[in-house]
Amino acid sequence: MRILAPLPSFVLILLLVGCDQPPADKPLQYSTTPMDDTIIYSFAVHPLHNPQKLSQAYQPLIDYLNLQLKGVQIQLEASRDYQTYEKKFRAREPEFLLPNPWQTLQALKVGYHVIAMAGDEDDFKGIFIIRKDSAIKVPADLKGKVISYPSSTALAAAIMPQYYLYTHGIDINRDIQNTYVGSQESSILSVYLGKSAAGATWPPPWRLFQKDHPAEAAQLRIIWETSTLINNSVMVRDDVPESVREQVRKTLLDLAQTSQGEAILAGMETSSFHTSDDAHYGVVAKFIKRFEKKVRPVEGK
């Protein structure tokens, strides 16, 4: 990936929001070149950020994993949008995944299994961002207006916010205009630039945005939060050897016990990895069933 020279903040914003043709997918670079006989596994993280920010946030974790693993190396893989990411795991291409909880359910169907949960449950919630100078006060004020989301399949940043609006009297299929802008950053920036009246995201990308773009973030605020649900998972494909699976699982669970691990977690805006399994995500299936019955299909709109 070619690294661009630093850009003024406003130019960067225009690039993030206005790019019509996203770059082609490719694995992100990693720091250590393996020997020819080393087995390479892909670790595909769902589009929490644009590819450059995702590399900055998650490459230290991949480097740390590679120091612990014997006989194998892992490379970080980014995807330009949610649909591309979902196409990859449905084809069983990556060996390791960090998907959102809805994607976790889909990956279970094609032979992936949960080995950990990434982050605390109380951090997995949708938030609505508006400009500080906005006149919006209650959900009814959104009628007739544009709302931005990363993707129709983003659980915390689209599905849960839309369910929140439904429970507050909004018909999301008729009362508002939903626009899916491809990334968490773009959903926030759409509000800043006045392209949407409100934007949905979730806490980690919002915290990162505040760090990276403090001047722009200072003009925005959270107006509503959804209830919480289970956090993102870490999954492994069913043909990865048990020894490798266990090494990765143990390294993730032990990460918060060292100062180096704490620094890596802080860069990802993640408190820690927790023990989890496939059954843990049954609560998500129940929520999705309720959402699709009352609001809309998760896919297809």
| Three-state secondary-structure class, residue 179 | strand
Would the CATH topology of 24-121+230-289 be identical to that of 125-228?
Answer: yes
How many angstroms separate the CA atoms of 200 and 135, rounded?
Answer: 17
Asked whether the CA dihedral 275, 277, 279, 283 is positive or negative, the reply is positive
Residue found under tokens 């084809």: 91
The CATH code of the domain at 24-121+230-289 is: 3.40.190.10
Residue found under tokens 């809805």: 102
Return the number of other C-beta atoms located less than 10 Å from residue 195's C-beta.
16
Tell me the domain boundaries of the chain: 24-121+230-289, 125-228
The tokens for 36 are 């020819």
pLDDT score at 299: 82
pLDDT score at 58: 95
The CATH code of the domain at 125-228 is: 3.40.190.10
Give the chain's residues under pLDDT 50.
Answer: 1-24, 28-34, 301
243-280 in b/e form (b: 16+ CB < 10 A) is: ebbebbbebbbebeeeeebeebbeebbbbbbbebebeb
| Three-state secondary-structure class, residue 257 | helix
CB neighbour class for 206 (10 Å; exposed up to 12, middle 13-18, buried from 19): buried
In tens, the pLDDT along 79-131 reads 988 899 999 999 999 999 999 999 999 999 999 999 999 999 999 999 999 99
pLDDT score at 10: 43
pLDDT score at 74: 97
Q: Which residue from 77, 86, 80 is spatially nearest to 19, judged by alpha carbons?
A: 80
Contact 103, 89 (CB under 8 A): yes
